[in-house]
Amino acid sequence: MRTVAPLCPSMDVFVTCTGVRVVLVVAIVGLTGGPLLAGNAKSTAAAYRDVRSAAQRQVRLSRFGGSDATEAAVLHALRWLGSRQNAAGTWTESQPDAMGALALLAFLGHGETLQSEEFGPNVKRSMDYLIDRMDQTPTESAAGCGGRAYVNGIVTYALGEATWMTSSERAARATEKGLAFIIRGQHERDGGWDYRYAKGKRWDLSVSGWQIQALHAAHVAGVAAPALEDALVRAVSFVRDVTFRKGKFGYSSPGSGSWAMQGAGAYCLQLLGGGKGAEATAALRNISDNDRIVWDEERKYRGHTNISYNWYYETQAIFQAGGEMWRKWNKAMAETLIDHQQPDGHWDHPGSNAEAPEYTPVYTTALCCLCLEAYYRYPPAGEAN
């Protein structure tokens, strides 16, 4: 295995980008709307696995506006990712942990597991690599994955999903370790997170979004962690009460965020049962009324403004909202991504993150693939688990 120092390079340069019964958490914080995390973890995990099965994928593609063309684009992307993975289980020399986790999420989002005939070897190599990296991280040190909030959040998220998709005990133990860093890094004052799990006055919704998705995945996996219930309650309060002002979620100050942060704020609340609240509703309406899926080849994006980062969060959140809002968004999203997929299966916006050409194609492809898996990746809020 290639030696890298530090164990998990900082994500600061690439993006601004158990069994707790969360239905009880919803009652504690007084949210309205059906939680995605209803019922016990075992039944929830089984339901989530089921919606990603081959049979259910076809049902949900038809029900929610997918098509043979969107599914063909997903398979083309997964085959591109699969062909680019190296023997060590990574895709890139720079940011190998985060890129590997995002790619793994794309495979898992299509229902691929260790037993999958075509993609099983890719899933195994990626899981083995990420588990090993988490195992190498010192428990009490800021030197490894646990000291890099973006990396640890994304890796723990992927390993949490891998746990409930594959029932891997090794993945569960690695998820538990990553979860401990997340819980320990949460601000006591406001319930959010910041770069490197710093405990100052600053908070960061982009960093926090990955921590919340990791908490969600760990809950579904049934991973035990001290103070998980309290972390969930404070995370809801953070997104709803700290970041939101005047109809918008903020990036690092209330109400000041980009389109990505509007999607992230709404989606995080949806994951924890607050999708019908005024805050998520306002952000979703703002996105639907004012943002558009446009492949602008002239715009020069930096790492934290890669357009696929916006679309990832917006697509997940608007799918959960459903209805006419989803029909309008989905039409533009699917057409745009299909039209701009490269002949070999990847996406690489010409202006996206030009300073990191090595990992940007993997990053953009994984996020675009996750957008096109939205039809079956998670059940919509309110659907019986």
DSSP per-residue letters across 199-217: -SS---HHHHHHHHHHHHH
What is the pLDDT, as a whole number, of residue 82?
Answer: 99
More confident residue, 298 or 158: 158
Report which DSSP code applies to 273. T
Beta bridge partners of 316: none
Tokens 């903020």 — which residue? Answer: 250
- The residues, ordered by sequence, that sit 6+ positions from 198 with a Cβ below 8 Å of its Cβ are none
- The mean pLDDT of 250-267, rounded to a whole number, is 96
Q: Lowest-pLDDT range, 3-7, 210-214, 222-226? A: 3-7
The confidence band for 19, taking pLDDT boundaries of 50, 70 and 90, is: very low
The confidence band for 356, taking pLDDT boundaries of 50, 70 and 90, is: confident
Tokens of 320: 């959960």
Report which DSSP code applies to 380. P
Q: 36 to each of 44, 55, 311, how far by Cα in Å? A: 9, 22, 21
CA angle 193, 195, 196 (to 5 degrees): 100
What is the pLDDT, as a whole number, of residue 155?
Answer: 98
Q: Lowest-pLDDT range, 2-11, 93-102, 287-296? A: 2-11
What is the pLDDT, as a whole number, of residue 307?
Answer: 87
Q: What b/e string do you get for 141-151 counting C-beta neighbours within 10 Å, with b at 16 or more? A: eeebbbbbbbb
pTM of the predicted structure, to 2 decimals: 0.89
What is the pLDDT, as a whole number, of residue 354?
Answer: 60
Tokens of 291: 């943002």
What is the pLDDT, as a whole number, of residue 32?
Answer: 33
**Whether the Cβ atoms of residue 313 and residue 267 lie closer than 8 Å to each other:** yes
**Whether the Cβ atoms of residue 334 and residue 353 lie closer than 8 Å to each other:** no
How many C-alpha atoms does 46 have within 13 Å on its Cβ side?
6
Helices 120-136, 169-185: inter-axial angle, 10-degree rounding: 50
- The mean pLDDT of 136-161, rounded to a whole number, is 83
- The mean pLDDT of 322-337, rounded to a whole number, is 98
What is the pLDDT, as a whole number, of residue 144?
Answer: 54
What is the pLDDT, as a whole number, of residue 41?
Answer: 74
Rounded Cα distance between 78 and 297, Å, is 24
Residue 126 reports pLDDT greater than 70 = yes
pLDDT digits (tens, 9 = 90+) for 47-71: 999 999 999 999 999 999 999 999 9
Rounded Cα distance between 280 and 240, Å, is 8
How far apart are the two ends of the chain, measured CA to CA in Å? 41
